[in-house]
């Protein structure tokens, strides 16, 4: 028996940073609007044959052949196996559509997808809400990573959603289900550029966590922006110009939260796109690298693309919306 899980990555539009416990536990709640995208992480799990010398074989960006769970270097795999009390001979391999540490929530998607595959491997049915919460628990509470829950919920549920993170730890998921035309508008007018820069989000988020009190006023404004964006999308009263302008305002706030969120390359590329007609944009994830997502009317796309690709070593990439969350399938 082989189990294959498929879990989407995500792009966050508004409120990123207010999902950190250091903010929402002290300020009533945090709020984020994000969308899953058509780029995925696949996790394959099967029982490992006893004919091999090792008990545990892992293939991801590295290869691990070990006999003891404590020897596993990949922290997410190690803690997921511990969490589900799996002591079998086991083979786990992963395939990803985008590089890790690129700001698309890859570690959280991997954790959600791995838990989904392992539950299926054990023959246990579980809910997507449980997958999201347990994946967040593993990364935040067990691995002590300075991060919020938004990526785990985006990966588990899929679609375009408003997530509210309350001070008591509960999470409210509001699917934005009337937004078909708006989703099409957003993704048709979004241009994405791979900066070829990756960075561990922990470095950025650690500083952001430490400055939570200092940044409180800005974070409250970012939360309010997510609430306003939800209202405008739900009422079908958002235009591309307004949406892009809100993204621009959000980026100006976000880049002030920590010193490593932006850098010279990102600032220069953003300025060129903005001067060539873009309404706004933002870097993916915690910042410091990853994908630069620009929002502009389609007539301005070619000029923006030409200007950026002629001056910088970027890769043009196209993301689309995906409405599905994590899935797991058994292949006999």
Strand 90-96, strand 29-47: pairing: antiparallel
Predicted TM-score of the model (pTM) = 0.95
Q: Write phi, then psi, for 81 (nearest 5 degrees).
A: -65, -40
Cβ atoms of 70 and 111 closer than 8 Å: no
CB atoms within 10 A of CB 129: 13
Axis crossing angle, helix 75-83 with helix 106-122, rounded to the nearest 10: 30
Burial class (CB in 10 A: 0-12, 13-18, 19+), 220: middle
The CA distance from 8 to 126, in Å, is: 18
Domain ranges of the chain: 2-177+322-331, 180-317
Q: Side by side, which strands form the sheet with 190-194?
A: 280-283, 291-295, 190-194, 315-317
- Which pLDDT tens digits describe the chain residue by residue (332 residues)? 899 999 999 999 999 999 999 999 999 999 999 999 999 999 999 999 999 999 999 999 999 999 999 999 999 999 999 999 999 999 999 999 998 888 999 999 999 999 999 999 999 999 999 999 999 999 999 999 999 999 999 999 999 999 999 999 999 999 987 667 889 999 999 999 999 988 777 878 888 888 888 999 999 999 999 999 999 998 888 999 999 999 999 999 999 998 889 999 999 999 999 999 999 999 998 888 899 999 999 999 999 999 999 999 999 999 999 989 999 999 98
Among 3.40.50.720, 3.40.50.12240, 3.30.1490.190, 3.30.230.10, name the CATH number for the domain at 2-177+322-331: 3.30.230.10
Q: Looking at residue 178, what is its pLDDT? A: 65
Compute the residue count for the chain.
332
Which CATH superfamily hosts domain 180-317?
GHMP kinase, C-terminal domain (3.30.70.890)
The CA distance from 244 to 304, in Å, is: 15
User: Coil, helix or strand for 147?
Assistant: coil
Q: Looking at residue 179, what is its pLDDT? A: 66
Q: Looking at residue 219, what is its pLDDT? A: 96
């Amino acid at each position: 028996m082989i189990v294959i899980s498929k879990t989407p990555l995500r792009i966050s539009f508004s409120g990123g940073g207010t999902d950190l416990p250091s903010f929402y536990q002290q300020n009533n709640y945090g709020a984020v609007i994000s969308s899953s995208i058509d780029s995925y992480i696949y996790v394959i799990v099967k029982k490992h044959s006893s004919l091999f010398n090792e008990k545990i074989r892992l293939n991801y960006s590295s290869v691990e052949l070990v006999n003891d769970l404590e020897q596993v270097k990949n922290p997410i795999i190690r803690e997921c196996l511990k969490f589900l009390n799996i002591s079998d001979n086991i083979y786990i391999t992963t395939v990803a559509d985008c590089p890790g540490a690129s700001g698309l929530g890859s570690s959280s998607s991997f954790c959600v997808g791995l838990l989904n595959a392992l539950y299926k491997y054990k023959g246990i049915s579980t809910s997507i809400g449980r997958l999201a919460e347990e994946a967040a628990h593993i990364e935040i509470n067990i691995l002590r990573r300075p991060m919020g829950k938004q990526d785990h919920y985006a990966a588990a549920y899929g679609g375009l959603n408003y997530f509210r993170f309350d001070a008591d730890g509960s999470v409210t998921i509001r699917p934005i289900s009337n937004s078909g035309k708006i989703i099409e508008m957003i993704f048709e007018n979004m241009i994405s550029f791979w900066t070829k820069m990756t960075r561990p989000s922990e470095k950025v988020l650690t500083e952001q966590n430490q400055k939570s009190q200092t940044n409180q006023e800005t974070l409250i404004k970012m939360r309010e922006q997510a609430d306003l964006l939800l209202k405008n999308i739900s009422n079908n009263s958002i235009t591309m110009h307004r949406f892009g302008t809100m993204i621009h305002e959000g980026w100006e706030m976000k880049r002030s939260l920590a010193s490593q969120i932006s850098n010279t390359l990102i600032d220069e590329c953003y300025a060129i796109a903005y001067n060539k007609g873009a309404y706004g944009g933002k870097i993916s994830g915690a910042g410091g690298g990853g994908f630069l997502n620009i929002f502009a009317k389609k007539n301005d796309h070619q000029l923006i693309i030409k200007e950026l690709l002629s001056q910088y070593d970027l890769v043009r990439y196209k993301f689309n919306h995906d409405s599905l969350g994590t899935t797991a399938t058994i292949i006999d």
